[in-house]
Amino acid sequence: MAEYVPTPIQWVREHVERYEGSGGTQSTSLLETGLPCIIVTHTGNRTGAVRKTPLMRVQHGKSYVLVASQGGAPKNPVWVHNLRANPNVEIRDATEVFQMRVREIDDAEERARLWALCVQAFPPYEEYRNKTSRTIPVFLAEPA
């Protein structure tokens, strides 16, 4: 099994440690938002290392929508490249853990429908979209 390599971003690393260290009973919302988040465990596309990323929880049936907004930054977060190279992920939603497979949403109609769900779950996504010139990648994690 590959080694887990924590992110160098301190607040993210600490959030993941609290979330997982509690078995999903603590730190299940993202910082001061009070809104639920999930932990996505994925494989580094260059290193093969295990990576863990907290994302806002946007549930769609038994699937999860993963939004690579990075707060509207000009570049995609690194995890986008990981998911494109290695679509098998693990999603921790509080105390439940699911093996899933992601696919990037390219179809305009499906993307618009899922984007509306994302903005409903976390309204700042719309602000982030307006703030950046890039198209924010959206993935759907579905049961494996």
pLDDT, averaged across the chain: 96
pLDDT single digits (tens) 50-78: 999 999 999 999 999 999 999 999 999 99
| CA 78/CA 91 separation, integer angstroms | 18
pLDDT at 89 exceeding the cut of 70: yes
Mean pLDDT along residues 4-19: 94
1 falls in which pLDDT band (50, 70, 90)? low
Say what the pTM is: 0.96
Q: What is the pLDDT of residue 133?
A: 97
CA 99, 103, 108, 109 torsion: positive or negative? negative
pLDDT single digits (tens) 38-55: 999 999 999 999 999 999
23: buried, middle or exposed (CB in 10 Å: 19+, 13-18, 0-12)?
exposed
Complete domains list, the chain, with CATH: 10-143 (2.30.110.10)
Contact between 24 and 37 under an 8 Å Cβ cutoff? The reply is no
